[in-house]
Structure 1
Amino acid sequence: MGNLRTPDRVTSPTAGANGNAYVAGNGTDAMAAFYAEITSIQDAISSYNANVSRIADLHNRTLNSTDENANQQNTAILDDLIGQTRDLGNSIKQRLQSLEAQPAQPGQDMRIRKNRTDFARSKFVEALQNYQQVERDYRQRYKQRVERQFKIVKPDATQDEVNAVVNDVSGGGDQIFAQALTSSTRYGESRAAYREVQERHADIQRIERTLEELAQLFNDMSVLINQQDETINNIEVQAQHVEDDTRGGLEQTEKAVVHARSARRKRWYCFFLCLIIAAIIAIVLGVTLGRKN
């Protein structure tokens, strides 16, 4: 069997491009840190997809191999790779959560952050969907393999018996298989088929666990999307309130300026009116006094 490249190292949930915790700064520094982190997350998503491709390859090797030792080796590698992929997926989720929890000022930077983060999140959801589809496909293929192996032991098996063995309903599948073994004329081949059925049941159970974990990740990402949308809406509402308050303040200022100008004009009118009245009084007094003299 060829060598398989081990998965990339899983970084800490909030690790940045250099493995350091992502911490938002201010202005240009904050955006530089954001770009570094979002690029690192996208690289991690690429590693996640690569892991899923290797998992699919190992599933395929297991199905096509008749070498028990090779299958055991494949299973060990598969278990380790699935565990590392699980950790990597949780890390990506937590890093996206950390990234979206960082505050951003309304404006162009916030829109850039939202668009880039939304894109990374959508690529991660696509990766989860791809992994989910791979596991579903191989679960079905493992079940088909179990059915074929059971029919080697009992060619005349009913569909109910096949379903019980394939799905191992309440452990009844093993009992049905054991009964079929006692009546089989090909004991050695039947025992080998029984061992493989047990191995495939273990593979199916492992896939079921993985699908449950992926479903939980999907739920977590849905919650994350809702929280992010609510945060953005709150920021936009607050920004609108600030804009409204600013506009209201400007309107009040403009009104105050108008009132002040009007008051100044009235004061000047009163001043000039007083001057005119004083001048008239002075003229009248001057004329009157001049006549008396």
Structure 2
Amino acid sequence: MATPLPNQMLRRSFVKTVLRRLIALLTVIGLIYGLIAIVYATKTIFKVKMNYAVVLERFGGVRQAVTDVGWHARLPYFTRIEQEVPLMNQTMQLGGTPAPMRIISKGNVALWTSGVLTYRIRDLHRWAIENLNPLDLLQGDYDGIVKDILQAQVVDRLISDRETIKEAIFTALKSRPINVGGPTIEKKYGVEVVSFVLKETRFGDKLAAASEEKKRRELIAEAENYAADQEASRIRKLYAAYLHGIRDLQQALGHADGSSDTALLEFLTQQKWATAYEKQQQGQNTVVIQNTQGNTPAIALPAFNAAKEPEGGKDGQTAD
């Protein structure tokens, strides 16, 4: 009778062999992956992407720009990657942050403003080799030029004439020397100024509220002046119509030399007395019509029911 012991031993031996080989394979793969990871982490082998460039600093301080797209190798410890430079359009905020920056206008009025500069690196040697920390240097020159132009303007232009100011800033950034006789931004950093956008220019909250209150008061004063002008115009028209009526009446009376003025005055006084008498509603019999002599003449008027009584009085007798 055959024993199964050898078969079991063979199977166990085969499993152990497979496990050992699998462990060895995983170990080799892990070592290779770790070596690749170490090489990639130290950037001994690095990649230059499309529209990017890499600046290498070699042993001895020599700096070199690598612009060829693809994989490249460098000697560890003897070279290092100083920076990776994008060659596409880039933006730079006014003041270095998207938050508005406070400026003082020519009239000593505080405003908040923000802007965006779009630029592209054209000369990599001038940007990365001739300038140390070019972004910080460009930020300082950019802020200085923009603030010089903005703070030289009166507040009205900063609010209502932003288009002209924006174009003036763009022209200055593109072609104006940073200092008299010095280079422009484009020549100093090897960049091309693509565009500039003045995002906002506004008052502070308290100043805006005060400006709105001032505008409201100006509108009220303007409305009051307009109403006063209308009232004055109405009075002038009434006065002209009154004079015209008096002139026509004098001409109708036939006395162009003014001799009819007394009769005319008496007629107008009678008319005024009649009007006052008709409007009397309180049972009073005395009405002051005109005071031209310094005293107060009184006129006794008949009672309002006098017109209703018969001509002969209460007894019906007729007066002679």
TM-score, structure 1 normalization: 0.28
- The one of the two structures with greater contact order (alpha-carbon pairs below 8 A, sep at least 6) is 1
The structure richer in strand per residue is 2
Larger Rg belongs to: 2
